[in-house]
Structure 1
Amino acid sequence: MPTLRQLEYLVTIADTGSFALAARVANVSQPTLSQQIRTLEQRLGTTLLERSATGAMLTPVGRSIVVTARRMLSDASDIVALAAGASDRLTGTLKLGTTPTLGPYLLSPIIAELHRMAPQLRLHVREGIPDEQLLELSRGNIDVMLGPLPMAGDDLAIEPLFREPLHLVAALDHPIDAGEAMTRDALTGSPLLTLDPRHHLARQAAEIAERHGMTIAPDYYGTSLESLHQMVASGLGLALLPSLYLRSAGGMAGLKILPVEGWRVHRSIAIAWRRQSPMSAAFKLIAGHVQSCAERLLAE
């Protein structure tokens, strides 16, 4: 029978496309990894990988086996959680994925309160692109994800938490007056700065730009909300920034919020975990805590 370790090596090769990279990720020598894959193929009586000088590619049967292997590895991780007795208590170490447009401005006060409430809980926070993190969640590489909707996945439990207002901001010396509401026509042709298009916030910004006749500045993608902030404050253009960011320390430095007639723009934040996870009860407790904390922060 295949071992979980062999299946883990196969999945890692599938993700990296390379024996060398897979060995580095798995923290083993390349000869050890190669030998384990050969043993796995011998036990199964089939070829799982097409090897070449440029890397490794799954055979058709290899692709099918990797799908099942991912599920088995995820189930094995869940078994460990059950054995630790942490299925309904906030204990142990959880890998939490979030987006850099949300985590730094929401999690700091929440994690401090969670630690007081559940001192045995440890959170390993990993920031990344939401769509990529959903894939990591399904694969079992993270336990729970906090990020903007939309989220999708037949194997995932997704619970909406709160709505966060998004504001249009400009430099303090921008000619548009922040003291009176503007019509949409006043924004026509204005440059709107955004993040990398893979971010949900960038997609929303593109929709807002089209709706208000603004233009996306493609040569000035921000790498973070801070970089957007700096570019806007320097007069390079306008930007769409979340309320929690603007409420953070220094979030409004050099900026002003532009009031636009009929402006009711927000993003919906949700939490997601694998539907079959034995930690579901604990995740629901975390969800309720995040929701109440976020609502309190937004009301301040």
Structure 2
Amino acid sequence: MLDIRQLQALVAIHDTGSIAAAARELGWSQPTVSHHLQNLERELGTAMTHRDSAGTTLTPAGEVALRGAHDILALAERTVRDVDELLARPALIRLGAIPTIGASIMPPALAELAAAGIAVSMKEDESADLESDIRARTLDAAIVMGSPLIHATYGPSYRPLFVEHLFVALPTHHPAATRATIQLSDLHADAWILSNAGPDPVDEALDAVARARGITIRSSIRSDDYSVVMAYVAAGLGVALVPESALHGGRTDVVTRELSDAGFTREIGMIVGSHAPAASLDAVMRALSHSIRAMAPRRI
């Protein structure tokens, strides 16, 4: 029968690329890692790894076993944490979110969870890094921007939360700044401030709509920090699409306007790890729902 330690050894070898590094990561001796790997190979009747001068990699059978190992280890972790919750033992729920969400819906949600006695850790990062943390089981859930790829990759483990509008941010001296609404063609001569992350679903949507209208999106400045983006806009370095959740007010040198001929939106959702404790995740979903309902549309 498979042993949890055998699966831990396999995952660590895959993640670190060698038995020595796996031993350091697990806090085991190298002979212990080798022992559990050999027992796994004996149990499954085939080699799990291939070793050469470049390191240790998984065989095709090892790759198949790795997928099952991730599922089994996640279920084992969730079982322990679910029992902890049942017995009212303190359980930490580990959350992550992209920065704009961390600055908008997360503070009231985290306050609600704290008032309910639910211990939470919070990390802000870009979507790709949060996804890596979910796979590594160092986060229980991550709030990210949805996309067809996210839906296809995570299926029911991805839970849509809300859809928000994006507005175009303009410096107050821009010729279109005095209009209530503008069209994309009004900005044909402007440079755009785009995302560092690629591929970015919003940037891709903007480019697709622009190309359909015979407009080329030009960009020489990129940032994923919307406070920095707004500063670039205010300085007249370009225009940008900015989500509602990033509009905190306080600026008098930037205005936001709707694009009447291209309604840009983005979906925000939560990736839930299979190892996440069920009861705590239910409480997180309720707190997020309350925070989202209280988030009024914002314009500047």
For residues 38-83 of structure 1, what are the alpha-carbon distances to aligned partners after superposition, in whole Å with 9 as ceiling and x for unaligned? Answer: 5544565532122233232211111111111111101111111122
* TM superposition score normalised by structure 2: 0.80
* C-alpha contact (below 8 Å) 1:48/1:59 kept by paired residues: yes
From 126, 130, 138, the equivalent of 2:127 is: 130
SS in 2 for 1:8: helix
CA separation in 1, counterparts of 2:252 and 2:248?
11
* C-alpha contact (below 8 Å) 1:181/1:259 kept by paired residues: yes
- Equivalent residue number for residue 296 of structure 2: 298
- Equivalent residue number for residue 148 of structure 1: 145
Point out where structure 1 has 5 or more consecutive residues left out of the alignment.
none
Q: Are the structure 2 counterparts of residues 172 and 63 from structure 1 closer, same or farther at C-alpha, using a change threshold of 3 Å? A: same
SS in 2 for 1:177: coil
Point out where structure 2 has 5 or more consecutive residues left out of the alignment.
none
**Aligned residues: CA RMSD:** 3.3
Q: Are the structure 2 counterparts of residues 294 and 49 from structure 1 closer, same or farther at C-alpha, using a change threshold of 3 Å? A: same
- Equivalent residue number for residue 277 of structure 2: 279
Q: What is the correspondence of 1:204-243 to structure 2 with a 5 Å cutoff?
A: 204-210=205-211, 213-217=215-219, 219-243=220-244
Q: What is the correspondence of 1:1-300 to structure 2 with a 5 Å cutoff?
A: 1-19=1-19, 22-23=22-23, 25-26=25-26, 33=33, 36-38=36-38, 40-41=40-41, 44-86=44-86, 92-116=91-115, 118-119=116-117, 121-130=118-127, 133-134=130-131, 136-137=133-134, 140-150=137-147, 151-152=150-151, 153=153, 156-195=156-195, 196-210=197-211, 213-217=215-219, 219-247=220-248, 252=251, 254-262=253-261, 264-274=263-273, 279-299=277-297
Q: Are the structure 2 counterparts of residues 208 and 253 from structure 1 closer, same or farther at C-alpha, using a change threshold of 3 Å? A: farther
SS in 1 for 2:240: strand
SS in 2 for 1:102: helix
Aligned residues: 293
CA separation in 2, counterparts of 1:90 and 1:108?
25
* C-alpha contact (below 8 Å) 2:154/2:271 kept by paired residues: no
SS in 1 for 2:295: helix
Q: Are the structure 2 counterparts of residues 82 and 109 from structure 1 closer, same or farther at C-alpha, using a change threshold of 3 Å? A: closer
Deviation at 1:277?
6.0
Letter of the structure 2 residue corresponding to residue 4 of structure 1: I
Q: Are the structure 2 counterparts of residues 289 and 2 from structure 1 closer, same or farther at C-alpha, using a change threshold of 3 Å? A: same
Q: Are the structure 2 counterparts of residues 255 and 20 from structure 1 closer, same or farther at C-alpha, using a change threshold of 3 Å? A: farther
CA separation in 2, counterparts of 1:59 and 1:86?
40
For residues 65-104 of structure 1, what are the alpha-carbon distances to aligned partners after superposition, in whole Å with 9 as ceiling and x for unaligned? Answer: 11111111011111111220349x8962112232223223
* C-alpha contact (below 8 Å) 2:113/2:120 kept by paired residues: no
SS in 2 for 1:142: coil
CA separation in 2, counterparts of 1:17 and 1:148?
31
For residues 206-251 of structure 1, what are the alpha-carbon distances to aligned partners after superposition, in whole Å with 9 as ceiling and x for unaligned? Answer: 445445625141x432143233233223222111111121126x5x
Deviation at 1:138?
5.5
For residues 161-209 of structure 1, what are the alpha-carbon distances to aligned partners after superposition, in whole Å with 9 as ceiling and x for unaligned? Answer: 2222211102233343234432332111322211122444443444454
CA separation in 2, counterparts of 1:27 and 1:136?
20
* C-alpha contact (below 8 Å) 1:190/1:238 kept by paired residues: yes
SS in 2 for 1:110: helix
SS in 2 for 1:105: coil
Identity %: 24
* C-alpha contact (below 8 Å) 1:14/1:57 kept by paired residues: yes
* C-alpha contact (below 8 Å) 2:93/2:280 kept by paired residues: no
SS in 2 for 1:289: helix
